Structure 1
Amino acid sequence: MIYPHNFEQKIGFDQVRQLLKDKCLSSLGKERVENMNFLVQYDDIDERLNQIAEFVRVIQEEDNFPDQYFFDVRPSLKRIRVEGMYLDEQELFDLRRSLETIRNIVRFLQKTEEEDGDTPYPSLKKLAGEVEVFPQLIIQIDRILDKYGKIKDNASPELARIRKELMTTMSGISRSLHNILRHAQAEGIVDKDVTPTMRDGRLVIPVAPGLKRKIKGIVHDESASGKTVFIEPSEVVEANNRIRELEADERREIIRILTAFTDSVRPTTPEILQSYEFLAEIDFIRAKSRFAIQTTSIKPILENKQLVDWTMAVHPLLQMSLARHGKKVVPLDIELNTEQRILVISGPNAGGKSVCLKTVGLLQYMLQCGMLIPLHERSHAGIFQHIFMDIGDEQSIEDDLSTYSSHLTNMKMMMKNCNEQSLILIDEFGGGTEPQIGAAIAESVLKRYNTKGTYGVITTHYQNLKHYAEDHEGIINGAMLYDRHLMQPLFQLQIGNPGSSFAVEIARKIGLPEEVIADASEIVGSEYINADKYLQDIVRDKRYWENKRQNIRQREKQMEEAIAKYEAESKELKEAKKEIIRQAKEQAEQLLQESNAKIENTIRSIKEAQADKEKTRMARQELVDFRQAIEKLSADEKEEKISRKMEKLEEKQNRKKEKKQAPTQAKEQTVKIPPISVGTLVKLKGQSSTGEVLEVSGKNATVVFGNIKTNVKLDRLEHSAAVPKKMGTVKSTFVSSETHDQMYEKKLSFKQDIDVRGMRGDVALQAVTYFIDDAILVGMDRVRILHGTGTGILRVLIRQYLQTVPGIKHFADEHVQFGGAGITVVDLA
């Protein structure tokens, strides 16, 4: 039940209804908007809200929703129920296009599915589930009409014959007229630029009145000025008559075709009309969805009970009005529940009390009419069986009602019909009569509302109502805030304390004489003035501490974010340290393997040398030197090596900055370093093993490291500070042709991609380490590491390792078309 009869007008819903009509595509939707009414069943409201929420997503996310042709052909379909009536060409064309739209919408909603097989629009799909489409009817219409909505020549054999004869006859007339015209032009009867024209559906020749006797024929018309007459030559009169006959035959055949088609459609008219009800509903839902997008409306958490728990709710009409002037509406936070069912709002005039009241009324009414409403998504909303309102002046000369009488009439109506499922909205409760008796009656009525368990929002200036709300359960005070320093309303609702009317402050701001204000203060007494002042102080202090609490919350949030960031960085640093230690252990293991290989090579060399004592002695000396070099790696040096790697991780950014700031200096230092040539002792950048350059070719060099000969780019080498050893030709004896072949084979078989998806962090990192080493060894320019996206931990570990490898020039995500963040592309120096 909604009371009074002009409820929609008072809260502004009539304007909302008009805005919805403007967004409809046809009279189908407008009719639904006009018949939209207040719903009280939870399931009905929830279903309609779901439909709109889903259609909002369709508008925002889908590009191919079919909404081109929304034609209301229901009047035409109802007319052809009478035998002998038929659909004309335009009606048939509109029927065909709208039926196609219905079919396409149903297909769209039934075919759209997500990856898990569920439809993203279940409520809309349910709505389209029982709708009948008519594909055969569309095919039948396509046989009759062309793409422009005109009857095709081949709609029937008879029509094809008539139109063919019509074209032939018209061509003959045109040729005859042009021959007559050329002859007349040659004789000077008509001007050279004259062409045949049409009068009364017949082709004629324009001639000057004085020369009309020169051409035999029938005068059909003359121009408004009388300077031209239009003559149909006698040679084409018979042909023109034939054209008239053929046109009449054509029209009769078209009517016959349309009548025959209409006769075939007539039995299915009820089913077609039912499908148009679906099209009307879609147009209606679409209009509500467009309005929801315009007003940033959403579906709140709907509960099947009486509840108002709204956050950041706004009046949509006020929002649009202020937006046109570049202003924003102040959002409303309000809560009505079983503990605080009735909110008594007080505060200054023009402070927003009535707007607050109308916002509650309009949004609740919109919601129960199946519309989304503008508020925050964490808001909760309930359902009321009745909404009663008493707003504004209801004087009536006809009914002999004064303002106060109309208020009392409304109060009586509400008390009689309200219950625990009702929502009452009363503006200026108890106003319109002598204040003392008006306040007393208002308090008594409020008591009855509270006893019945009614929910409501009431605005007032009466102190006794504020005290009553303070002292009784189920009722709570609220205040519209006011800035005492700027002397202007803030339009913010604060629940918990009553508000001051600021009557004295406003009177002083307007400029009322101070002695008048003083006299008024004496009349009401100091106790009243002080009470009002204390009320203002309470509101002010509460607002101050509310701001303080908000600032503390923001600081706490910032602190929590900082702590979380610190913990994440600390964890990342610890993981990096563990990784470096693990790599050091792996290098030690690798060094041990190299030692075993060195011993085996030495033993093999001694066996091959047999009695050659000099070669045996040199092999033994190399083994001794190698052992001494290993022993020099003490525990302190290993720890220092780990620390250096940690410093590399932390100082990488600093090195980049230094390189940018001193390019000239670096250039000069580079120039001073002697070039690498044959015989130079070198090492790989970032490595400690020393080798000798055997050959330099362009930008590449052949270097022997121990018993391994390899081809390396010059820019990856640097001079070694190690003491030169006597490296005779014996070293080359350790690199056989078999080793060269193995290196060549390894380069040919090397794959530029490695896939570590699904591996544990340490296993994946070990695989990447060997992969990068091999890539550097065989001279690859670019490789790709497939680690996937997942949680991102594998990607972080791999990139932390890549930052520590000097042989890497750059690494980044793969292009989005080829894998994006799931693949790291590594450019080698």
Structure 2
Amino acid sequence: MIYPHNFEQKIGFDQIREILKSKCLSTLGKDRIDEMDFMTDFDEISEQLFQTEEFLRIIREKANFPDQYFFDVRQSLKRVRIEGMYLDESEIFDLRRSLDTINQIVNFLKAIPEDCQEEKPAYPHLNKLAGDVFVFPSLVKAIDVIIDKYGKMKDNASPELMRIRKELLSTTSGISRSLNRILRAAQSEGVVDKDAAPTLRDGRLVIPVAPSLKRRIKGIVHDESASGKTVFIEPAEVVEANNRIRELEGEERKEIIRILTEFSTKLRPYIEEILSSYVFLAEIDYIRSKAHLANDMDAIKPSLINEPIISWGAAIHPLLAKALQKQGKKAVPLDIELNAKQRILLISGPNAGGKSVCLKTVGLLQYMLQSGMLIALHESSKTGIFKSILMDIGDEQSLEDDLSTYSSHLTNMKAMVKNGDKESLLLIDEFGSGTEPQIGGAIAEALLKQFNLLGTYGVITTHYQNLKHFAEDHEGIVNGAMLYDRHHMQALFRLEIGNPGSSFAVEIARKIGLPENIIADASDLVGAEYINADKYLLDIVRDKQYWERKRRNIRQQEKQMEDALEKYTADIAKLQKEKKEIIRQSKQEAESLLSETNARIENTIRTIKEAQAEKGKTKIVRQELDEFRARIAQMEADEKQDKISRKMQQLIEKQERKKNKPDKATTNQPVVIAKKEEPIKVGSRVRMKGQRTTGEVLEINNKNATVLFGSIKTTTKLNRLENSDSIETPQASTTYISSDTNENIREKKLNFKQDIDLRGMRGDEALQAVTYFIDDAILVGVNRVSILHGTGTGALRSLIRDYLSGINAVKSYRDEHVQLGGSGITVVEF
């Protein structure tokens, strides 16, 4: 149920209908939009939303949807239901093209993507819509037999038509030859102008002649020019031929009608099926228009729940957004929550603060959703279904019905009490207004109590203090406030749920210049208690915003710490695993090598025995082999340690690369200078040969050295180390930068602006913009930049400064001078 009768006009849905019609391809879709209505069935709403979402994908994927010929021939088809009636050539041509379009659409929707593994169509809900649609290939072929590609009857549509047209052509050619002969003779005699040519008058070929010479040519005068200076004569020699042409044209028309009638007779049994196919074409045009509007609004298909609920983030009023876009502005998104615990939202705040816009946004978007349209919300939003929407907005006084403004409000309240239930959504603007405030507030409170007992959902705007107190004391009702900037005395158009809003009456009166003595008298009349209560309310809202911001920052920091801890834990586990694997492989290789060495020793001993060498010589050989075995074992131990060191070194380098985020590698080769090798000692800066990461030597023990690489300490052979200073280094850093890169940097320096404006952006959007801005500032080497974020609640300011605090290149940041913007601008120095 929708109440009142002019609900669509009140919330602006009539404008949405007109926008949808403008996006239709034919009257088929426009008529379907006129039939569009408020739905309450969950499955029906869900199906329409899925269909529109799939068509939105078609638009965004640029899938070459066949939408060339959407012709509405329904009235023509209904006409030829009567025996003896027929379609003319243009109607048959439109029928043929639209039937072909229907056939192409059905094939498009039923097609299986080439890369699909499950053999499913790309657009299952639209495919379901196309499942039972009739296509008529035989009719299309029959039309192609008689109608050409330009929509005209073919010469060979029938043998009789072929004969008639051949004779017509032959006769016309004969007349043309006769006329040209007569014309040339007349021109030579000076009867007709040299540049004259045969022309057509009343379907007959004639010659233009001056009136004074018309008797020089025997024939019939058919017409005279508007100026009277020319008459058009049909020579007597071609009169009979022209008469024959008239007869042949009549025969041609009769034969064409016979062919059209014959085709219409074949068509008549299929008319009902064809009309049902045009219902499908109308539905496609309707869905297409909804998808194009959704694309314009950046709308989505939100999560839909089969119960009354509103959990919206970043909701946008589409008409308001379109109007502001023309002015170069953006609409402020609305966050709103209605659920079983807080069913009725009571919004208060200053006039012109956005209360009515908030209410109309809820009404319009919910109505659009339950009409099968996608709406502009954040993707995490949840939407529900209401069985009825009852509204009281604006002045409904009527002279005819003898209704005053307040009487009309009470009539609407009566309807809401009568029809409202647990699945109703009430939308009431300026609740209780229109009569004496005290009794008006009392009646409004009694009504609010009744609405709460009925279990209805609703969005209600008011200025009455007693309603704000009632909402605080009763479960199911929650206060909300439209925020207002006290310092700049301007509305922020943002809704905050949890606390009532202030009317800011005194502040607004003072801003517009009302004399101070009048403001003081008014304050005395209402009393200090009322003024202080309003002030305390503002302080509560401000404090809540402050602590909410603090809580949000703490949650972000905790999340960052948890992510970092998880990452480091994973890195340590990976390192331990790699270390164990390296040791295992080293042991296997060492055992294999030792086994080979033992075999070599035994072979040597056997050779000595066989040669019957002296005992002394055998002892020496054994000693040499023992030493060889020891060296091999030491080499294997060193190799194992070196592998561990290399793995650790690679991990260190990987961590440092992630931290430092180096620029892209350049294509130019660096110019290098070799330096003299210095001996390695404790405290030397060294690196592993073939590696780039440097470390400090902590201890040297014979041929081994203990080196600290970052936070990792490792022991390795001295001969695997080299001084970092002795390594060939680039002669100049610029040799690593290509000419293209230099050119890009110079261009950035020329075009770089040292300030950025983030007002109106969302948090994530603003943070991404600041990230790019700071990166560019560091790249071009500026010393100081400014970030304009506005004051507002301070959330955006805190988010930006949290980011800046983690940038090593940022030396400091602070508020701009108060005369230049104060806390609304952050100045960053590098």
TM-score range, shorter chain: 0.7 to 0.9
Q: What does 1:281-300 correspond to in 2, within 5 Å?
A: 281-300=283-302
Determine the C-alpha separation between the residues in 1 that align with 2:596 and 2:197: 105
Aligned partner (choices 658, 662, 671) of residue 664 of structure 1: 671
Q: 1:514 to 1:227 in 2, by over 3 A?
A: same
Letter in 1 for 2:45: I
Q: What does 1:395-414 correspond to in 2, within 5 Å?
A: 395-414=397-416
Please tell me whether the aligned partners of residues 313 and 374 of structure 1 are also in contact (alpha carbons under 8 angstroms): yes
What's the CA shift for 1:493? 1.1
Over residues 399-427 of structure 1, what are the superposed CA-to-partner deviations in whole Å (9 max), with x where a residue is unaligned?
Answer: 22221111111112221222222111111
Q: 1:100 is matched with which residue?
A: 100
Q: 1:13 is matched with which residue?
A: 13
Which segment is superposed worse, 116-125 or 268-277? Answer: 116-125
Please tell me whether the aligned partners of residues 483 and 494 of structure 2 are also in contact (alpha carbons under 8 angstroms): yes
Please tell me whether the aligned partners of residues 429 and 462 of structure 2 are also in contact (alpha carbons under 8 angstroms): yes
Q: What does 1:262-661 correspond to in 2, within 5 Å?
A: 262-567=264-569, 569-570=571-572, 573-574=575-576, 577=579, 581=583, 584=586, 588=590, 630=632, 633=635, 635-636=637-638, 638-640=640-642, 642-644=644-646, 646-647=648-649, 650=652
Q: 2:683 is matched with which residue?
A: none
What's the CA shift for 1:40? 1.6
Determine the C-alpha separation between the residues in 2 that align with 1:267 and 1:47: 33
Determine the C-alpha separation between the residues in 2 that align with 1:590 and 1:187: 124
Q: 1:216 to 1:622 in 2, by over 3 A?
A: farther
Aligned partner (choices 141, 144, 159) of residue 143 of structure 2: 141
Q: 1:707 is matched with which residue?
A: none
SS of 2:478's partner is strand
SS of 1:480's partner is strand
Q: 1:663 to 1:282 in 2, by over 3 A?
A: closer
Please tell me whether the aligned partners of residues 52 and 288 of structure 1 are also in contact (alpha carbons under 8 angstroms): yes
Aligned partner (choices 115, 118, 121) of residue 116 of structure 1: 118
Please tell me whether the aligned partners of residues 109 and 122 of structure 2 are also in contact (alpha carbons under 8 angstroms): no
Letter in 1 for 2:175: I
SS of 2:85's partner is coil
Determine the C-alpha separation between the residues in 1 that align with 2:242 and 2:592: 107
Please tell me whether the aligned partners of residues 584 and 642 of structure 1 are also in contact (alpha carbons under 8 angstroms): no
Q: What does 1:81-96 correspond to in 2, within 5 Å?
A: 81-96=81-96
Q: What does 1:23-34 correspond to in 2, within 5 Å?
A: 23-34=23-34
Letter in 2 for 1:553: R
1:219 aligns with 2:221: yes
Which segment is superposed worse, 543-552 or 19-28? Answer: 543-552
What's the CA shift for 1:334? 1.4
Letter in 2 for 1:80: V
Please tell me whether the aligned partners of residues 580 and 646 of structure 1 are also in contact (alpha carbons under 8 angstroms): no
Q: 2:57 is matched with which residue?
A: 57
What's the CA shift for 1:547? 2.0
1:80 aligns with 2:87: no
Q: 1:67 is matched with which residue?
A: 67
Determine the C-alpha separation between the residues in 1 that align with 2:24 and 2:147: 28
Please tell me whether the aligned partners of residues 93 and 149 of structure 1 are also in contact (alpha carbons under 8 angstroms): yes
Over residues 225-264 of structure 1, what are the superposed CA-to-partner deviations in whole Å (9 max), with x where a residue is unaligned?
Answer: 3333333333333222222221111111111000000011
Determine the C-alpha separation between the residues in 1 that align with 2:650 and 2:38: 71
Determine the C-alpha separation between the residues in 1 that align with 2:176 and 2:356: 78
Over residues 575-625 of structure 1, what are the superposed CA-to-partner deviations in whole Å (9 max), with x where a residue is unaligned?
Answer: 65556556656765786698699899999999xxxxxxxxxxxx9999999
Please tell me whether the aligned partners of residues 195 and 205 of structure 1 are also in contact (alpha carbons under 8 angstroms): yes
Please tell me whether the aligned partners of residues 306 and 384 of structure 1 are also in contact (alpha carbons under 8 angstroms): yes
Q: 1:182 to 1:598 in 2, by over 3 A?
A: farther
Please tell me whether the aligned partners of residues 346 and 461 of structure 1 are also in contact (alpha carbons under 8 angstroms): yes
Please tell me whether the aligned partners of residues 427 and 458 of structure 1 are also in contact (alpha carbons under 8 angstroms): yes
SS of 1:334's partner is strand
Q: 1:162 to 1:583 in 2, by over 3 A?
A: farther
What's the CA shift for 1:529? 0.9
Q: What does 1:743-754 correspond to in 2, within 5 Å?
A: none
Determine the C-alpha separation between the residues in 1 that align with 2:186 and 2:80: 54
Letter in 2 for 1:257: I
Q: 1:559 to 1:214 in 2, by over 3 A?
A: farther
Q: 1:96 to 1:626 in 2, by over 3 A?
A: farther
Determine the C-alpha separation between the residues in 2 that align with 1:605 and 1:92: 108
Over residues 692-715 of structure 1, what are the superposed CA-to-partner deviations in whole Å (9 max), with x where a residue is unaligned?
Answer: xxxxxxxxxxxxxxxxxxxxxxxx
Letter in 1 for 2:438: Q
Which segment is superposed worse, 545-554 or 280-289? Answer: 545-554
Gaps of 5+ in 2: 609-620, 677-688, 691-718, 720-830
What's the CA shift for 1:14? 0.6
Which segment is superposed worse, 98-107 or 114-123? Answer: 114-123
Please tell me whether the aligned partners of residues 40 and 385 of structure 1 are also in contact (alpha carbons under 8 angstroms): yes
Determine the C-alpha separation between the residues in 2 that align with 1:180 and 1:623: 131
Q: What does 1:111-190 correspond to in 2, within 5 Å?
A: 111-112=111-112, 114-190=116-192
Please tell me whether the aligned partners of residues 345 and 478 of structure 2 are also in contact (alpha carbons under 8 angstroms): yes
SS of 1:218's partner is strand
What's the CA shift for 1:107? 2.1
Q: How high is the TM-score relative to the length of structure 1?
A: 0.74
Which segment is superposed worse, 355-364 or 305-314? Answer: 305-314
Q: 1:305 to 1:642 in 2, by over 3 A?
A: closer
Over residues 125-173 of structure 1, what are the superposed CA-to-partner deviations in whole Å (9 max), with x where a residue is unaligned?
Answer: 2222222221111111111111111111111111111112222222222
Determine the C-alpha separation between the residues in 2 that align with 1:214 and 1:521: 108
What's the CA shift for 1:57? 1.9
Which segment is superposed worse, 549-558 or 44-53? Answer: 549-558
Letter in 2 for 1:74: R
Please tell me whether the aligned partners of residues 443 and 465 of structure 1 are also in contact (alpha carbons under 8 angstroms): yes
What's the CA shift for 1:464? 0.4
Q: 1:338 to 1:639 in 2, by over 3 A?
A: closer
Determine the C-alpha separation between the residues in 1 that align with 2:625 and 2:173: 112
Determine the C-alpha separation between the residues in 1 that align with 2:349 and 2:479: 11
Letter in 2 for 1:44: E
Gaps of 5+ in 1: 607-618, 670-684, 687-720, 722-829
Runs of 4+ in 1 over 6 A off after TM superposition: 592-606, 619-629, 656-662
Determine the C-alpha separation between the residues in 1 that align with 2:604 and 2:228: 127
Which segment is superposed worse, 176-185 or 139-148? Answer: 176-185
How many residues end up aligned between the 2 structures? 669
What's the CA shift for 1:385? 1.7
Determine the C-alpha separation between the residues in 2 that align with 1:367 and 1:620: 94
Determine the C-alpha separation between the residues in 2 that align with 1:625 and 1:646: 31
What's the CA shift for 1:383? 1.6
Larger CA Rg, structure 1 vs 2: 1
1:239 aligns with 2:246: no
What's the CA shift for 1:178? 3.1
Q: How high is the TM-score relative to the length of structure 2?
A: 0.74
Letter in 1 for 2:509: A
Determine the C-alpha separation between the residues in 1 that align with 2:325 and 2:559: 32
Determine the C-alpha separation between the residues in 2 that align with 1:189 and 1:605: 139
Letter in 2 for 1:384: F
Determine the C-alpha separation between the residues in 2 that align with 1:181 and 1:213: 14
Please tell me whether the aligned partners of residues 74 and 273 of structure 1 are also in contact (alpha carbons under 8 angstroms): yes
Over residues 266-289 of structure 1, what are the superposed CA-to-partner deviations in whole Å (9 max), with x where a residue is unaligned?
Answer: 122112111111111111111111
